[in-house]
A and B are shown apart, each in its own frame.
Chain A
Amino acid sequence: MTAVRPEAPGSDRYQGARERSRRNTLSAASRWFFLTAAALALLVLAVLAYDTISQGAGRLNLQFFTSYPSRFADQAGLRSSLIGSGWVLALTVVMAVPIAVGTAIWIEEFAPDNWFLTVIKLNLANLAGVPSIIYGVLGLAVFVRFAGMGPSILAGSLTLALMILPMTVIAAQEAIRQVPSGIRDGALALGATRWQAVRGQILPVALPGIVTGVILAIARAAGETASLIMIGAFTFIAFDNSRITDDFTTLPIQIYNWTTRPQEAFRANAAAAIIVLMVIVLAFNLIATIVRNRFRRFR
């Protein structure tokens, strides 16, 4: 019997080694591929952030936050757009979140599984994909003109509330669905009513997920421009908003205006305003993280 060396070509072990090494190479290659993909995303973000910050950082002083818009780039500021954005976002959240969470709870916990529910679910998924300008057209026709609100803070926040409603409902639904059914069944088995189970057990567990969804929706509303311009939001506002019937402007509208101006100095303003907007969105994310961790601890 001529002994075949185990590692010699043709032997079983040789075949196995080759197969292993092929799989290892593939695994290593895929690892690098995915790492590159992730790094590319980070790189683009870093380049964008660097470009914006290097352009706009010089404009970030107290004057930039306390001045109204101006034809002079170095005297223009974010005062009215910050206040406007604050009003609109706060009202949007106050109107959209209770309805969204309520809808999600109803769909997941109370609704009978029939054609009506199917229609609603289908609609929600479709509405979440509708471009924002369509909500602007709707807002202009219904809130601004039909309801006679004018291009006011109220009309603007109602439009944005409609826009973020579907995505918030879907996010809240997901969060509620993640709650282990043992928790729900356990509460019901102990004699809790459906509402008691929802309030005492399901909502607290689902809250972190719901908050994440809400924050994402706020971030989208904070950056929304097209639909607000559609309903007739203004660009030059030189007073502080104090009522929901006031005319208003917002941060992204101001950014849009400044990027379209020919003077180079306005481009620095736009970059600075973008930094402010990014910081605000990041702050929302931070709040979401804190809220999430807090509630995890109490669970």
Chain B
Amino acid sequence: MIRPMWFSTIAGLTALALVACGGGGSAPATSTGGGTPPAGGIDYSSLSGEIRVDGSSTVFPISEAVAEEFSKLAKTRVNVAFSGTGGGFEKFCRGETQISNASRPIRDSELAHCAEQGLDDVLELQIAIDALTVMVNPENEFASCMTAQELNAAFRAGGATRWSEIRPGWPEEEITFYYPGTDSGTFDYFNEAIIQGIDETANHRGDGTASEDDNILAQGIENDRNAIGYFGFAYFQEAGQRLKAVAIDGGDGCVEPTFESALTGSYSPLSRPLFIYTRESFLRDRPEVLGFVKFYLDELDALVTEVGYVTLPVDLLNQQRAKLEPYLGSG
């Protein structure tokens, strides 16, 4: 009678595993819910259903964190994917997702595309601030502060190939460029803020090393004395400290990339807002979406810093909360 014993052992192990998991799920009392009273009268435990979230890989860690906490309270399944800001809107407009993560505001062309498919009630909620950081090799001693114009000269197509072409007096050595892949919101944002924001006819250069993986960019810059590159502020906070961050002069003097300067907006033009998008009709008709979005805004302060972004100033956050008011009252 070996088989029954095997079975009971397996059953016992499975039960153990389940117990361990249950314990694991509730043990790390992250106390995120503790600070915020359950105002608005939503009983999260009564919510069920399924919410699909897709979009920007920059926003993914925030949505993942919110989904993780939300799933401890509600029975709603929140599934999160990252196919990029543009890919996310494409799915959102087809009605395949309920929430779309975005690292830039939705474009008019995307709104029009949504409207064609009958989605004319798109609602935008700002959830955090992200900052780009321009990095050089630690041995680089001359490039400690650059203006937006100089960045434009460096990263535009057909732009500088030697440091001396960016600013007279800098070495006559060839520069190597590192930047995120063209599908990423980070690339889009840099392109809009630095390249086309300064000269509408200019394009981003394409002859550098492009990668969606920030680790590859950081390694490249670390091993190359004449490298310059940029990536997300969150990455710089975590792993980019061994590189040298370039202060940015947006017109009012050099500003270092810090949480404070991103929050106050003085780190300009390289700090940007992050968004989630949903539909007004979802907030009206689907209590689980309304609950999730409300939970999202309520938990932002704790979760956003945990994953390395900059939280919204209070008045801006309150503006986002106000957008939910009409639906909370009637619900």
Using a CB–CB cutoff of 8 Å, the interface residues on chain A facing chain B are 62-63, 65-72, 75, 79, 145, 150-151, 229, 232-239, 247, 257, 259-264
Task: Tell which of B83, B234, B303 touches A232, judged by Cβ atoms closer than 8 Å.
Answer: B83
Decide yes or no: A63 and B20 within 8 Å by CB, A71-B306, A262-B308, A264-B239 being known contacts.
Answer: yes
Closest chain-B Cβ to A72's Cβ sits at a distance in Å of 7
Given A247-B79, A260-B57, verify A236-B20 contact (CB < 8 Å). Answer: no
B: contact size bracket = 35 or more
CA distance A66 to B17 in the complex (A): 6
Query: Is there an interface contact between B28 and A75, defined as CB atoms closer than 8 Å?
Result: yes
- Name the B residues within 8 Å of A145 (CB-CB): 94
Residues of chain B with a CB closer than 8 A to A63's CB:
20, 24
A67-B24 CB under 8 A given contacts A232-B54, A236-B67: yes
Sampled A-B contacts (8; CB under 8 Å): A62-B17, A63-B20, A151-B81, A232-B83, A235-B82, A247-B79, A260-B215, A261-B61
Expressed in whole angstroms, the Cα–Cα distance for A207 and B322 within the complex equals 67
CB of B213 within 8 A of chain A? yes
A69: chain B residues within 8 A (beta carbon):
64, 68
Q: Do the beta carbons of B20 and A66 come within 8 Å of each other?
A: yes
- Is the pair B61, A71 in contact by a Cβ cutoff of 8 Å? yes
Q: Which 4 A-B pairs have the closest CB atoms?
A: A236-B80, A262-B238, A66-B21, A71-B65
Contact between chains at A262 and B24 (CB < 8 Å): no
From the candidates B17, B61, B63, name the one contacting A65 in the complex (CB within 8 A).
B17
- Please indicate the chain A residues that have their CB under 8 angstroms from the CB of B25 in the complex: 67-68
CA distance A4 to B239 in the complex (A): 80
Bound form: Cα–Cα A61–B66 in Å = 26
Residues of B whose CB lies within 8 Å of any CB of A are 17-18, 20-21, 24-25, 28, 50, 52, 54, 57, 60-61, 63-65, 67-68, 71, 77-83, 91, 94, 96, 212-215, 234-235, 237-239, 303, 306-308
Closest A residue, CB atoms, query B54: A232
CA distance A129 to B94 in the complex (A): 32
Using Cβ atoms and an 8 Å threshold, which residues of chain B touch A235?
60, 64, 80-82
- Are B68 and A262 in touch, CB under 8 angstroms? no
* A62, A262, A264: residue with the most chain B Cβ atoms closer than 10 Å: A262
Q: When the two chains form their complex, are residues B20 and A238 in contact, meaning their CB atoms are under 8 A apart? A: no
Docked Cα-Cα span, A72 to B57, in Å, equals: 17
Inter-chain contact A259/B79, CB cutoff 8 Å: no
Known: A66-B20, A75-B28, A260-B214. A233 touches B61 (CB 8 A): no
Residues on the A chain within 8 Å of B82, using CB: 235, 257
- B303 contacts which chain A residues (CB < 8 A)? 71
B57 CB contacts on chain A under 8 angstroms: 260
A234 and B81 in contact (CB under 8 A), knowing A63-B20, A71-B306, A150-B96?
yes
| B65 contact set on A, CB distance < 8 A | 71
Q: Which residues on B sit within 8 Å (CB–CB) of A259?
A: 213, 215
- List the B side residues contacting A150 at CB < 8 Å: 96
Contact call A237/B239, Cβ cutoff below 8 A: no
Q: CB-CB < 8 A to B238: which residues of A?
A: 262-264
A229-B83, A238-B78 in contact; A262/B234 too (CB < 8 A)? yes
Q: Which residues of B contact A234 (CB under 8 A)?
A: 52, 79-81
Chain B residue contacts of A264, Cβ below 8 A:
238-239
A75 to B28, CA, bound (A): 9
Q: Name, among A69, A229, A236, A239, the residue most crowded by chain B CB atoms within 10 Å (CB to CB).
A: A236
Are B24 and A247 in touch, CB under 8 angstroms? no
